[in-house]
Structure formats: C-alpha cells, structure tokens
Amino acid sequence: MAVAMATLLATSLLAACGATTSGTPAAVGTGPASPAGTALPASPSPAGAAPAMPSAAGGVAPSSVAGGGSSARPGGAASPAAAIPSFSHVYLIVMENRGLAAIAGNPEAPYLNGLMARYGLATQYRGVAHPSEPNYLALFSGSTQGVTDDGVHEISAPTIADQLEAAGRTWRVFAENVPLPCFQGAVATGGPDGQGTYARKHEPAISFRGIADDPARCARITDFSHFDPAAADFELIIPNMCNDMHDCSTAAGDRFLASFVPRILGSAAWRQGGVLFITWDEGSGSEPVATLVISPDVPAGFRSAVPHDHYSLLRTIEDAWGLPCLANACRVADMREFFRRPPGS
C-alpha cells in the first residue's frame, strides 16, 4: 500500500509541476493547499496525494548569465503581493546528484515528501554547471569563478561571507567530517562526527583566499559536532559524501535529513522568523532539482514553476537582508513568490 501511494504521489506531483528535462517550464504556481504556520514533527509520514496546484501569478526570473564581480541590484519593482521577510536566520543544506523526479514522490524519501507537503517546492530550479564544485561556488559567490572541475582551487573573489560581515551579520559553515582547524586538504574521513568522508569540492568557503588565509575566518568552518542552529545568521550545512546522497542511496540521505532537520525546525532561531532551504547541487543534464523552501511564512503545499537556479537562491538571501547582489545573482529574480501567507492566516 505504501509503495502504491508513493507511486500515485510521484505521478501526480510530477504531472502537476510540469517538470521537464528541457524546454519552457510550466506557468508559475502560487497559493497554498492549506495555510502554513507550524513546525514539522521529527518524522512526518509520506504525503498520500500531491498538493493541489495553485493559480498562476506574475514574476519571471531571467536566465542566469556568466560573469564575475559584484554590482548594484537592478531596479525592477516587486509585486505588491509578495515580499521577502527579513529572516532571523537562514539555513542552507546542499545535497548531491538527484533530479526532481528522483525525490518528489519517491517512496525512498518519505521525510522529504512530508516536508514538500507542508512547505514549498520549486519545480523548475536547476543547477548552473557540471560537475559539483562550480555549483557550490555559485551559491557562495554568485559565480562559478571559471571552475569547470572538482579540483582544489584558490580563488580571490567576494562572497556572501564578505557581504554578511560588512553588514554586521554572522556566518558559519558546518561541514560533516571536516578536520579542525582550517583544514585545506581535498578529502578527510572520520573525526568527531564519526564514520564518513568530507570532500572539499562540496565546501565552497575554503576555496576563497580571503577566508582560507585568515585563521579567524576559516575557523568559522567547523564540523557537525559543533552544530548549533543559533550559532550564526547564515549557516551553510554540508553533509558528508554518504549523507548527501553522493555515495549512498536516496533512502540514506532521507534518513539523515529526518534526523538532522528537526534540530533546525525545533529551534527558536528557526521558529522566530527563520528559513531553511534544501537543494541539490545538480541533476543529470538539464533536469530540474528539488529545492525546498521551509519557513512559517510559506503556505503549505506551495509550488512554484518560475525558472530559478543557484543564483536565484543567493539573490533571495541578499534581498532579504538588503545586501548588494554578487555577480550573476544581479541578473536573476529572487524567490519571493514563496513568501505569501493566505488572507487571514
């Protein structure tokens, strides 16, 4: 029965989302199946049916364009019906190598599908490059910085960490199994986090010289044994090579999230105006990846088919906190359509 229900969910959700591997995405979806407002229990059961698709609304994100550096945010007026909250805390978990179709409705991912039913899902969100590392650099700096491989790179460029510090905000990176302090090697295993492998290619902060060459700044990159949802305004969370689904199954990654995410959703830091994003670095080819937007301000079951990518997510954080945009984040729209409570909620 559980498999049948999950199969029905997969068919219904992917049909409703209009997810394709190429071509023009479906119209924007906005509006909830039911109002949001409560934190998710530690282990939600899989959704039994796909949430109803909401009605269309305006706002289209232009395609991302290659480039570097930083510049002022372009002037376009925002829809009066949408506004990005000034988040108390932002959490970003990056998973590995799964397209939307491998997650949405998959019976091996019951926890993730429970989150999708209770919060928001971007159905036309894509990575910006292959292989992994350029996607992480894009999320952290607004550019792939010319990187086209998973090698060890030393980059001199501005990042969101620089922006946050300039604005008086704090940041931390929690990378599972990373040795302390200021480890700059390509891989490491074990340590206080237990069994598992850390890969530098999945942890972007250490690739920037302004962080790697400053002991106080690179000390803000630490392992999961030090995780604290109230440690910083912005927290980038990088699971090890098994828990992120790179070396292990979808089910293993889902179990990890079912054990870890409640530490965030149960915290006062998240409940009092925080947001959690869960995304994947890339799928196969040009297929969309699942990107979850988890906040008390996101209506339950919300779906957006606006074209988005990693630059859009970075832009959303920058816009929420009034930060200048970085590189390609200046050329895309943010994800403000998610933050709309229904009237009277």
Q: Who contacts 293 (Cβ-Cβ below 8 Å, separation ≥6)?
A: 119, 120, 121, 122, 275, 277, 302, 335, 338
Query: What gap in Å lies between CA 107 and CA 64, rounded to an integer?
Result: 33
Q: Who contacts 166 (Cβ-Cβ below 8 Å, separation ≥6)?
A: none
- What tokens were used for 187? 């891989």
> Residues 301, 51: contact at Cβ < 8 Å?
yes
Query: What gap in Å lies between CA 152 and CA 212, rounded to an integer?
Result: 12
Alpha-carbon 222 to chain mean position: 19
Query: What gap in Å lies between CA 16 and CA 32, rounded to an integer?
Result: 14
Query: What gap in Å lies between CA 138 and CA 121, rounded to an integer?
Result: 21
b/e burial code for range 224-249 (CB count within 10 A of at least 16 → b) = beebebebbbbbbbbbbbbbbbbebe
- For residue 260, the number of C-alpha atoms closer than 13 Å in the C-beta half-sphere is 25
b/e burial code for range 58-80 (CB count within 10 A of at least 16 → b) = ebebeebeeeeebeeeeeeeeee
Sign for the pseudo-dihedral over CA of 6, 271, 142, 177:
negative
Bridge partners, residue 189, by sequence: 197
Residue count of the chain: 345
Write down the mean pLDDT value for the chain.
82
Query: Percent of the chain scored above 90 by pLDDT?
Result: 74
- pLDDT, residue 2, reads 41
Q: What is the pLDDT of residues 121-179, one digit of tens each?
A: 999 999 999 999 999 999 999 999 999 999 999 999 999 999 999 999 999 999 999 99
Q: What is the mean pLDDT of residues 188-215?
A: 98
- pLDDT, residue 345, reads 44
Q: Domains of the chain: which residue ranges?
A: 90-273+280-338
- pLDDT, residue 37, reads 30
Question: Is the predicted pLDDT of residue 231 greater than 60, yes or no?
Answer: yes
Query: What gap in Å lies between CA 172 and CA 331, rounded to an integer?
Result: 26
Q: What is the pLDDT of residues 64-94, one digit of tens each?
A: 323 333 333 333 333 344 689 999 999 999 9
Query: What gap in Å lies between CA 7 and CA 76, rounded to an integer?
Result: 42
Burial of 123 (C-beta count, 10 Å sphere; 0-12/13-18/19+): buried
Query: What gap in Å lies between CA 158 and CA 201, rounded to an integer?
Result: 18
Q: Measured between alpha carbons, how far is residue 70 from residues 158, 163, 208 in Å?
A: 8, 11, 15
Is 43 or 312 the better-scoring residue by pLDDT? 312
Burial of 167 (C-beta count, 10 Å sphere; 0-12/13-18/19+): middle
What is the DSSP code (8-state) at residue 332?
S
Q: Say which CATH topology domain 90-273+280-338 has.
A: Alkaline Phosphatase, subunit A (3.40.720)
pLDDT interval class at 29 (50, 70, 90): very low
- pLDDT, residue 82, reads 64
pLDDT interval class at 223 (50, 70, 90): very high
